[in-house]
A and B are shown apart, each in its own frame.
Chain A
Amino acid sequence: MSLLNVKDLSIRYQQTAVVDALSFSIDRGESVGLVGESGSGKSQTALALLGLLPRQASVSGSIRFDGTELVAASEEALDRVRARRIGIVFQDPMQALNPYLRIGRQLREILVRHKLARGAEIDERVIEMLVRVGLSDARRQFHAYPHQLSGGMRQRVMLASALIAEPDLLIGDEPTTALDVTVQAQILELLEEIRDNTALLLITHDLGVVAGHCERMLVLEKGRLVDVGATTSLFASPGHAHTRLLLDAAPRIDRASALPQATGASILGIEAVSVSYKAFGNEQLRAVHDVSLSLRSGETVAVVGESGSGKSSFVRAVLGLVPMLSGRAVYAGAPLEGPVERRVKAQRRDLQLIFQDPVSALNPQMRVQSIVAESLLVHEPGLSSQARLEKVVEALGQVGLGDEYLGRYPHELSGGQAQRVAIARALVLGPKVLICDEAVAALDGSVRKQVLALLRKAQEDTGLAIIFISHDLAVVRAISHRVAVLYMGRLVELSDNAPLFSRPRHPYTRALIDAVPVPNPVVAPKKAPLRGEVPSLLDPPSGCVFHPRCSYVKEICKSMLPATRDLQGARVACHCADEIDLSL
């Protein structure tokens, strides 16, 4: 008999069904992936399994867990199942752990509640669990608050809380989505290591994660189960058009792109830019160190790196949104100086920025028409309202939105539509350089694909130069001409797309590439390429800042900062770059 048997599960809010007649089962020890785009009902299903849906939700059908019916079960009955039989890991550990309680306290309460240990044994079990999930110095971390831990460590604690009561089923609700790829690889590896015979229901939008970690997969589309089967066979021959759509939309780190060479004139030159922030007390936090980059018209340069690598600070300094400590940027022959509000209009107009979260980047009180038209009022004040409207309609048309969107408010748009409006707002001025700060990170695969295509088209049509900040190397491989890799605010490698992905020169670049899960179940997932996480910028390591995490480390790396040098077309900052072969 299956461990979990879901039959005809439906979840409705008023008249709308978010999950519709869903049936599936999970056997003991099995790992099952639940995939679908946002709004497909994945997380609602997970919450239903634990009876955690809000009061307004009406649930019908049956969820039988090891013989116990969970739909309409009493809170007391559910409390006996929660944590003890079914554990869950949520997406963002910063939100999902209680910031006001020490982590030891949060974990020990589970043991107390489920009567799994008593007396001094409780704390011992908690510490033992923290050690198992890889917390160094667990005895001390027991007393830490969540905000004192790094993102990866927090998710390890979350995992510890889900497994400490030794459940039979572990649910991971996008457990690695909020983490850096390198940390994601570590957490997924840990998950495999410690779950033993616990069954796994892994909810994710990332087919790479499913390919590497699930034996079977379920595909949801708008609350309905459209496809189910062994992961290998579904990847090889999808049973449903939606599965194929998801597979096609998944960016592939293992496939080269076919971009034409960018041959435009150099338009933006950035030389040795540094940025520093005032940290707590009077310490200076150096976010960016001497980063240089140039950009041609019609070229896309990607800037990649883990969180805290200085990607955003770098472009913000160029735009004048944060002060530049040193260095200079030259746009079309003239220096970009001072804060953005003191720059000449033409420079402000030619350099445009789009952000990660489109919904919060649009003023909720303004209609789409005013949002897009706003900058025209500043930059083209002489325009008649009729001419302005025409420009707005044209810009919206460029991003594939018709006239019917003019009167809408941001909350009436989907995530993808909102991001298109943000792009239209940037494009309406006819900029020469577009800076995309994680502009597609919050979008579903299929929508991301459309938005990327749209950027490509704008580039072909107008010779737009793009700086594309991203943590997702698979996307970067598909759309950029060149790639700049940052680590702790320093440029460690700058190279053309093709050589970077076939023969990276810096060990960090190679690690970033290896960390990306490949959506191909035949390829076994690689071991997590990097241990640990990015050190504090307030206390950077000596010598090469990457040396504590580097597997090629030599004596010299510990004491001397490597200079940036040219190596067959690539710029690399590594002592060993010419001695090691990092080809894929």
Chain B
Amino acid sequence: MLRYTLLRVLGAIPTLLLVIVLAFLMVHAAPGGPFDDERVLPADVEANIARAYHLDESLPKQLLRYLGGLVQGDLGPSYRYRDYTVSELIGAAFPLSLKLGAMAMALAIVVGVSAGTVAALQQGTYLDRTVMAFSMTGISIPVFVVAPVLVLFFAVKLQWLPAGWSSSTGASRMVLPVITLALPQIAYIARLTRASMIDVLGRDFVRTARAQGLGTLTVVRLHALKPAMLPVLSYMGPAIAAILTGSVVVEEIFGIPGLGQFFIRAALNRDYTLVLGIVVFYAALIVLLNLIVDVLYGAIDPRVRYR
């Protein structure tokens, strides 16, 4: 088990390296640089700045320099927020993104699994079809459409909830962003749960449990839920990635000062180190969470053995 974890962590290194190299090349391929402004600087000043940040070196050399810093845990200074390092910026902005993401994930799991289970138990009924129709809608409509519609309805028309981050201070300002972020995941998890629950309910051991007179609730709770959750658990990796990317859009729409917003600003500003820093951080986070998912998989299914 320990060996397995270690191997998995080591196995993630090439993945991370590839992500870094690709991200590095892409930010540098974009036209413009971190210090290009509308106000044109004198050539010698520009050259000085470039030298100070090693931007005059060749790309491979800059990449190696960056990787060298990374190995020591140094993500470098931000090019635009001059007084801060990238690590400090991530440390400041991430907690809010984490809160948003975790709440969305929890909501998605609770609602998605419940809806999927109910649909599976009522397979073929009106209720089942309604749940499935809703979830199809949830999957099909993109976040940037859902968000304004929700704002228009709940904030502008009904005036139940604040429209943006800065227009309120209470917990209520989290509601719309969390729902927006969770909706597509709720939809997908509901469909996944329904399909796998139907499969599990048809297995022999569920028939045995029913033959023991355990009643539907106990049969589902004790016997069917765990195995039915395996596909959902496998989906957690991609779901986390989807929530992270979704949060970039949602934070921008609702004006939430989280990591996603920083990321967009950094990309627009060609703040190379900050973009790279966030990419590395997110990539590492996804790898770590996927590893946790795999370990949990073994906890649910006793037949899984790690080697």
Contacts and interface: CB of A to CB of B under 8 A. Distances in A.
B39 to A, nearest CB: 66
B65 interface: no
B92 interface: no
A82 interface: yes
A147 B209 CA distance: 18
A96 B204 contact: yes
Nearest to B226: A100
A11 B23 CA distance: 64
A113 B215 contact: yes
Interface residues of B, number: 24
B59 interface: no
B203 A100 contact: no
A509 interface: no
A113 B301 contact: no
Given A52-B210, A52-B211, A145-B303, A97 B216 contact: no
The interface size bin for chain A is 35 or more
Contacts of A566: none
Interface stretch (A16-24, A87-95, A526-534): A87-95
Nearest to A113: B214
Interface string A256-288: 000000000000000000000000110000000
A98 B207 contact: no
B305 A280 contact: yes
Interface in B203-262: 203-205, 207-216, 218, 222-223, 226-227
B213 A161 contact: no
A50 B305 contact: no
A345 to B, nearest CB: 39
A120 B223 CA distance: 22
Interface in A83-115: 83-84, 87-88, 90, 92, 95-101, 105-106, 109-110, 113-114
A116 to B, nearest CB: 11
Contacts of B204: 90, 92, 95-96
B126 to A, nearest CB: 15
B213 A84 contact: yes
A97 B205 CA distance: 5
A93 B16 CA distance: 45
B222 A95 contact: no
Interface string B277-305: 00000000000000000000000111101
Contact of A96 (B205, B215, B216): B205
Contacts of B203: 95
Most A Cβ at <10 Å: residue of B209, B216, B303: B209
B303 A79 contact: no
Contacts of B213: 78-84, 110, 113-114
Given A50-B211, A87-B211, A113-B215, 18 more contacts: A76-B215, A79-B214, A84-B213, A88-B208, A90-B208, A96-B204, A96-B205, A98-B223, A99-B227, A100-B226, A101-B222, A105-B222, A109-B212, A109-B218, A110-B212, A113-B213, A147-B303, A158-B208
18 contacts: A52-B210, A52-B211, A75-B215, A76-B215, A82-B210, A84-B213, A87-B211, A90-B207, A90-B208, A95-B205, A96-B205, A98-B208, A100-B227, A100-B300, A100-B302, A101-B226, A113-B214, A113-B218
Interface of B: 203-205, 207-216, 218, 222-223, 226-227, 300-303, 305, 307
- A-B interface, 3 closest residue pairs, ranked by CB to CB distance from nearest: A82-B213, A95-B204, A79-B213
Interface of A: 50, 52, 75-76, 78-84, 87-88, 90, 92, 95-101, 105-106, 109-110, 113-114, 145, 147, 158, 161, 165, 280-281
